[in-house]
Chains A and B, each alone.
Chain A
Amino acid sequence: MNYLPSVGLEVHVQLKTNTKMFCGCTTAYGAPPNTQVCPVCLGYPGAMPVMNVAAIRLTVLSGLMLGCRIGAHSKFDRKSYFYPDMPKNYQITQYDQPLCLGGGLVIELGGQTKLIRLTRIHLEEDVGKSTHYAGCSGVDFNRAGVPLMEIVTEPDISSADEAVAFLLALKQTLLYAGVSECNLEEGNLRCDVNISVRPEGTGKLGTKAEIKNMNTFKGVQAALKYEVARQIRCVAGGGRVVQETLRWDPDLGETFSMRSKEDAHDYRYFPEPDLLPVVLADAQIEAWRATLPERPAERRARFMHVYGLPAYDAGVLTAERGVADFFEATARLCGNGKAASNWIMTDVMRLLGESGRSVTQCALTPEVLAELILLVERRTINLPTAKGLLPELFEQAGRPAELVATRGLGQVGGEDEIGRLVEQALAANPRVVQDFLAGKQAAAQALVGQVMKLSRGKADPQMAGRLVAERLAARQGGAAVS
């Protein structure tokens, strides 16, 4: 019998706010433990939460990007459980009236597209971080109170690869919306994975197990593959999957039971009396919607249509919003989408990759790149000269036209001038000419190289090639006559 897995994700995303969700402490990552704390986020007696509206805005923006319905009346609740990294021993979260409902995200895998439906998105506060040492444990509360958005999917995902495709698409969308840094190393994005399997042909989902707290996409993939196989083995062998919470051990490559259903927490949710319900006016939601960027998939389609780019190129250029913005600005300024695409996909991306910087962190701007493209297009300089200038312009601000003028890099343009250089090259390399006349076609390329060298790289290589070919042909003809 064939078994089908059903997978649902609960993705926790730290929002990009300057301050925490309920106090004025900074959310900056990497400070020494417990240096970004106050009575509110430490749960001191008498301290009260005050809502950070930026967290609400970023959650609603995410919901709008993902096609959710925004709840007209939303509220916060207390979720009670005891753990040392929970300052109040209850977490302020949203139980039955989340900010966003429904929605979905289309993923693409092996040329096929598939809609993964979302159940909801709600907002809650992050907890502290425990570190365990021999004989004692430490808790860092710098992270406690950082706004955390939880995105819950329907169990629409049916493989580990789909799960990863969804996470990548989600990360891309959230980066586009500018709601989170989505930095996995800094714990900006973590997820819980719900898995069940059922025999093909049955509609009812099987009993699910949940793997908690995955913080790498590779981990999600490996854990899912393992757990799906484990559950299928179990069911196929006549066993039953137990509803339980699992932990993934990346070193052993296995899941382990943390607690069974019987030990499940009763979180005792009830409405948070210290915060007022969130009632968002339509005008407010529309004002936020107006600030939304184009979604990645839509932008990709538009790039193909407007700039005539192949699907692959459009995909590469829209993978990151910053790159897409850079491309589009360059294309508009130089009026040549193909050239802009070629430059960015090859040379610019290579420089970005080598330097480890993002497109907004380098000196190169769309204005500079467009100017460079236009200089080549108008044949003021040749392509190799332009490519030679790029690393410099990537590192420090400068105007290509000025560099060309001050350094005399302008292309040696006239047919007469290049013709003279071709003659020089032929005269200086009689043996190469002989080789060519003896049938060695590649010798022509060596002569073009000599012409380029004589022009100190400034000749139009195409013209040089054409003139070399013409002169050689003339000699060939001459030889035949004599």
Chain B
Amino acid sequence: MALDIDQLTVRQAVVGLRTGAYSSVALTQAMLEAIATRNPAVNAFVWLDEADAMRQAEAADRARQAGQQGVLLGVPLAVKDVLNVDGHPCSCGSKILRGYTALYDATAIARLRAAGALLVGRTNMDEFAMGSTTENSAFGPTRNPVALDHVAGGSSGGSAAAVAGGMALAALGTDTGGSIRQPASFCGCVGLKPSYGRISRYGLVAYASSLDQIGPITRTVADAALLLGVMAGRDALDATTLDQPVPDYNAALTGDLRGLRLGLPREYFVDGMDPEVAVAVRAATARCRELGAQIVEVSLPHTRYAVATYYILAAAEASANLARFDGVRYGFRATGEGAPIDMYKQTRAQGFGCEVQRRIILGTYVLSSGYYDAYYLRAQKVRTLIRRDFDAAFAQCDALLTPVAPTPAYRMGETMDDPLHMYLGDIFTVTANLAGVCGLSVPCGRTAGGLPIGLQVLGPAFGEERVLRVGHAYEQSRQGEAL
């Protein structure tokens, strides 16, 4: 009988492989079959090399027979199309990287590989991680496997859809303003954005360097803890990683919340929020109180400036980060006559999609002489205020409980003509990136229409143990309930 990976967690797979209940080849075969059946409707994967996946699985099985171990030995993982995996394409959902093949492994990938994991396929994303719906992709939109007429969220929509849609046990995403947490919330899975500097960004194609972080999208909080433990830690190739010890995140999963103070930021429960989201998050808060936590109200007064601040800083950094895509050394190059500058213009005009061009232009504008002080510099100052808001809040409580997004998943196409509407949907997630703190998205119910709703747990910088403990205890308390 074929192996069913619909609900299988990474931890269960690790046990199954170790005990010999099944081989990595069988597990990977099951994954490839699930992708073959389900991906056409969802479009979570944009590239897959089945032979390459099977070669990795065979090697893992041989390694196990040879007595080798590894916390993830033989476990296949899906990878967002923005992380470099040696020998695989890395197109960032863009036409401009057509034909580019990665020459090296990102550090996070190298660490997963060293732990025995298999890197299978490339998951869809908003082009260069710019978007909240995974509709802005050169490979077409990803659909939400829970409700196919809805978006999967973004920008790591392909990863969330693969995990929620039974095509991957777990996947890697990246989060610059909510790109892991929001799609996890929209699709009903767990998503962790670690603190800035916790996981190396080396090999992550940069969108906004001071905000980007790699993180896992999983089916359980325990799986997120497991993958974080493998990827975390100082990396000599990324100067912004911190030399903080990597704790045993699994040990943090105590199952209770006794002695914890959890804060509800006043500014995150606003008018205009979807009432079903508000109800679900309030109920989750009550559940946390039952689990032993003390609930306090706190304030993050500069929250209302966060979206504007985020779009100025992210666009500014992106305008420089994406300058390298010029057709000179790799990827797509427009053909035609003219000077090099004309080749650049044509390549970039044809290679980048609308949203990317919009943000490059915005970023170029806010850095231009005469506007720098009014926009970029001012946004940096507000960023400092937002960071201080969190410092003050975490002086009063151990972690914060908030909604991930003000609404459940949008309908397909709903935000395409109204980017501002989409930008405002990032209001509860961008703050964590601006402040450099960590955040976890955990399913906390569904709307009457069956759309998943996510609870966000925010913790201080390098406070992943706390958010995992809270998310895990809450998740365990709801086991058996329909989420």
Contacts and interface: CB of A to CB of B under 8 A. Distances in A.
The CB with the most chain B CB atoms within 10 A, among A46, A78, A89, A269, is that of: A46
A389 interface: no
Interface string A255-277: 00000000000101110011110
A90 interface: yes
Interface in B88-105: 90, 92, 97, 100, 102-104
Interface stretch (A48-56, A97-105, A222-230, A414-422): A48-56
B368 interface: yes
Interface in A401-426: none
Contacts of A88: 320, 323-324
A139 B367 CA distance: 29
Given A42-B329, A80-B319, A84-B328, A273 B209 contact: yes
Contacts of A273: 208-210, 240, 317
Interface in B66-105: 83-84, 90, 92, 97, 100, 102-104
A270 B369 CA distance: 11
A48 B364 contact: no
B320 A80 contact: yes
B306 interface: no
Contacts of A51: 239
Interface stretch (B196-204, B262-270, B293-301, B426-434): B196-204
Contacts of B376: 270
Given A46-B84, A46-B203, A48-B238, A82 B210 contact: no
Contacts of B206: 46, 48, 274
B323 A90 contact: yes
A52 to B, nearest CB: 11
Given A270-B367, A273-B209, A276-B240, A46 B323 contact: no
B329 A268 contact: no
Contacts of A48: 201-202, 206, 237-239
Contact of B239 (A42, A80, A84, A274): A274
Interface residues of B, number: 44
A308 interface: no
B435 to A, nearest CB: 15
User: What size tier do the contact residues of chain A reach?
Assistant: 20 to 34
A272 to B, nearest CB: 8
Contact of B240 (A80, A83, A84, A274): A274
Looking at chain B's contact residues, the main secondary structure is loop
Contact of A84 (B102, B238, B317, B340): B340
Contacts of A78: 320
Contacts of B340: 83-84, 137
A274 B196 CA distance: 12
B100 A45 contact: yes
Contact of A276 (B97, B100, B102, B239): B239
B205 interface: yes
B203 A50 contact: no
A276 B234 CA distance: 14
A124 to B, nearest CB: 15
Interface string B456-469: 00000000000000
A44 interface: yes
Given A39-B103, A90-B320, A139 B328 contact: yes
A43 interface: yes
Interface string A43-74: 11111111100000000000000000000000
Contacts of B208: 273
Nearest to B90: A45
B475 interface: no
A276 B238 CA distance: 10
Interface in B335-394: 340-341, 344, 364, 367-369, 372, 376
B316 interface: yes
Contact of B367 (A49, A83, A268, A275): A268
A337 interface: no
Interface in A1-56: 39, 42-51
A47 B237 CA distance: 9
B324 A89 contact: yes
B201 A268 contact: no
A139 B329 CA distance: 10
B369 A266 contact: yes
Interface of A: 39, 42-51, 78, 80, 82-84, 87-90, 137, 139, 266, 268-270, 273-276
7 contacts: A43-B329, A45-B102, A48-B202, A48-B237, A90-B323, A270-B320, A275-B239
